[in-house]
């Protein structure tokens, strides 16, 4: 047993386990169910075809695309999309296809800091995760550092209230959201996505953009998918790499265990860190038909039209499911039957994130190489919060590499 949670959002409640907050009578304001019970949360997320995606401002995205984005599609269309892209993220495929590239990228980026030099890990992790994931997606025809900056710019959005159909934004805020969102998307398309599409139309490769071209996706369809993979995959993995390093560097026993462990045990440590510190802290669903949920405290019926807020941070530490040590970091802990080692961090049910094997492997490759260089923690990161992904951000984790590289694993 070791350290406790570091990303704690101020004033975020952890009880009651299931709470209904009624609409206040205002126009477009939803009845909201706050689910903090692991058992009840899994029931909601596994209520196939009874809910639709409501997170990531999904309900404000126009439905005019020929192919709805995989992150926010639902029903048979979503199931078919998931089935077809699963081959790109299967654990065996990820290990065989991307390990060598991850190792080369990690060594190259870490090698850019000389002995005695310093690096800001969250900045290095951004370039690393973008380069690795871009290979799987097919965004390989442009500069990674510049693409990284373009992806980060997507998050400069005004605040919103997801319980309101209009997100609670004023006309001025919607105008600012359009400018802050559309300009970066246009730059991303022109500099990164369009060149990749053109290259794949000429010669197919084993990546997602080639698959989308074969499926008849338009350039706009492919752009939206790339934005999804870029923001929901690359940028969030950056936060986890930084968080995992923070835990390992602040806990001598955990770090020593990680450095000498085999891959299976290292993966168990990473899964436990991300269970404790989920990057995306809330998942939202809109009920399309009544959903019955139960846990040890009672039973409830969520009505059609209600908004469901699954609090991943609370559910992942639910004391009824994980005993009273749910906020401790205990690699290899016993979990309820059928619960992923990462809890609900990667979701559950129809919208479970297919990129879990890629995220864990790429994190492990970079962290093993980083720790082999015996870094010294110079300054701890500042914890911030992003409304779009309902998750934490870590900035300014500075490290010093005090000696020449001692080699890589």
Please tell me whether residue 11 adopts helix, strand or coil conformation.
coil
Q: How does pLDDT run across 176-219, given as a tens digit for each residue?
A: 887 877 888 899 999 999 999 999 999 999 999 999 999 999 99
Top CATH class of 2-400 equals mainly alpha
**127-146 burial: b if 16+ Cβ within 10 Å, else e:** bbbbbbbbbbbbbbbbebee
Q: Which residues contact 62 (CB under 8 A, 6 or more apart)?
A: none
**Rounded Cα–Cα distance for residues 180 and 183 (Å):** 6
First-residue to last-residue Cα distance in the chain = 26
- pLDDT, residue 31, reads 92
DSSP assigned state of 65: S
Q: How does pLDDT run across 392-407, given as a tens digit for each residue?
A: 999 999 999 986 544 4
Nearest one of 218, 135, 217, 223 to 186, comparing CA atoms: 223
- pLDDT, residue 161, reads 82
Q: Which residues contact 255 (CB under 8 A, 6 or more apart)?
A: 248, 249, 371
pLDDT-flagged residues of the chain (< 70)? 1-3, 24-28, 61-66, 403-409
**Rounded Cα–Cα distance for residues 322 and 38 (Å):** 9
Nearest one of 50, 35, 16, 25 to 312, comparing CA atoms: 35
């Amino acid at each position: 047993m070791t350290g406790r949670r570091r990303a704690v959002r101020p004033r975020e409640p952890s009880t009651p386990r299931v709470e209904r907050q009624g609409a206040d009578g205002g126009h477009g304001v939803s009845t909201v169910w706050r689910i903090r019970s692991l058992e009840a949360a899994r029931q909601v997320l596994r209520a196939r075809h009874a809910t639709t995606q409501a997170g990531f401002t999904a309900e404000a995205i126009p439905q005019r695309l020929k192919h709805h984005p995989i992150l926010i599609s639902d029903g048979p269309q979503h199931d078919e999309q998931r089935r077809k892209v699963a081959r790109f993220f299967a654990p065996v495929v990820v290990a065989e296809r991307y390990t060598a590239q991850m190792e080369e990228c990690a060594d190259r980026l870490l090698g850019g800091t000389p002995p005695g030099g310093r690096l800001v890990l969250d900045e290095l992790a951004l370039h690393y995760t973008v380069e690795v994931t871009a290979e799987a997606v097919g965004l390989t025809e442009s500069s990674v550092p510049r693409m990284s900056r373009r992806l980060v710019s997507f998050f400069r959005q005004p605040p919103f209230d997801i319980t309101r159909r209009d997100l609670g934004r004023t006309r001025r805020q919607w105008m600012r959201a359009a400018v802050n969102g559309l300009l970066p998307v246009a730059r991303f398309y022109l500099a990164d996505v369009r060149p990749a599409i053109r290259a794949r139309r000429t010669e197919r490769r084993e990546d997602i953009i080639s698959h989308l071209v074969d499926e008849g996706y338009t350039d706009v369809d492919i752009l939206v998918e790339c934005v999804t993979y870029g923001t929901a995959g690359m940028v969030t993995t950056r936060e986890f790499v930084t968080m995992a390093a923070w835990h390992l560097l602040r806990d001598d026993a955990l770090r020593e265990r990680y450095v000498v462990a085999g891959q299976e045990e290292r993966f168990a440590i990473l899964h436990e860190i991300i269970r404790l510190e989920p990057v995306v802290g809330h998942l939202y669903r809109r009920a399309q038909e009544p959903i019955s949920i139960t846990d040890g405290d009672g039973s409830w019926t969520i009505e059609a039209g209600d908004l469901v807020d699954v609090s991943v941070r609370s559910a992942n530490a639910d004391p009824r499911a994980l005993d009273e040590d749910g906020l401790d970091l205990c690699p290899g802990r016993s979990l309820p039957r059928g619960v992923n080692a990462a809890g609900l961090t990667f979701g559950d049910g129809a919208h479970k994130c297919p990129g879990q094997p890629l995220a864990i492997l790429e994190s492990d490759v970079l962290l093993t190489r980083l720790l082999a260089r015996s870094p010294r923690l110079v300054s701890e990161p500042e914890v911030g919060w992003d409304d779009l992904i309902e998750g934490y951000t870590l900035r300014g984790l500075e490290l010093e590499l005090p000696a020449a590289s001692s080699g890589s694993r």
